[in-house]
Amino acid sequence: MTIHHTHPFAGSGEPRPLRRFRGRLPAPVTIWAARDRDVPAGLTVSSVLVADGEPGEVIGLIDPASELFDRLVAAGRWAVSLLSYQDRGLADAMAGLAPAPGGPFRMARWRDTEWGPVLASSPGWLGARLLGEPVEAGWSMLVRGVVESIEIDSTVAPVAYVRGSYRQL
């Protein structure tokens, strides 16, 4: 990865109105992680929706060019870790916005689960199984999964992202 003095996703001029609107919506900060053939891949994902029901579902928008997308589809399952305010550096590294010497998985402790790596300090996590084929949604792929496992640590507060900043909840 090369570090530039400018933001890698900054466009020229004023951001598009839809992007500005989306930036005003508080977004969760999660890491989606999967393991295929013992090789982990992870990505910071804020476009996440959890649908309660029998069974419950997790839905997310994933970059189709990411390593995570390929591993998630190949494995057919993945883990979603909530992040705390202290994990914002890891969030930037998993998003490819900050350096991660040796890779972002070396920046924190992880637990192996049957769904994939889970951040050991996570305020909560869930394990999901792929439901159907991902479909295009804008420039992303919409991925749906059946929630098969969930753990919550109510002693650690999750973090949100609004208008370009992490906010402690």
Please report the pLDDT score of residue 8 as a whole number. 47
- The confidence score (pLDDT) of residue 22 equals 84
Separation CA 140–CA 31 (nearest Å):
16
For 51, 97, 99, 100, 101, the CA distances from 2, given in Å and listed in that order, are 38, 10, 8, 11, 11
Chain mean position to CA 28:
9
Task: Please state the domain extents for the chain.
Answer: 27-163
CA distances (Å), 60 to each of 48, 49, 77, 101, 150, in order?
4, 6, 13, 27, 17
Task: Report helix, strand or coil for 148.
Answer: strand
Taking the model in full, what pTM does it have? 0.89
As to burial, measured by CB atoms within 10 angstroms (0-12 exposed, 13-18 middle, 19+ buried), residue 146 is middle
Q: What is the pLDDT of residues 39-54, one digit of tens each?
A: 999 999 999 999 999 9
* pLDDT tens track for 140-150: 999 999 999 99
The pLDDT value given to residue 10: 53
- pLDDT tens digit sequence for 5-19: 555 445 556 778 988
Predicted confidence (pLDDT) per residue in 41-95, tens digit: 999 999 999 999 999 999 999 999 999 999 999 999 999 999 999 999 999 999 9
For the domain 27-163, what is the CATH code? 2.30.110.10
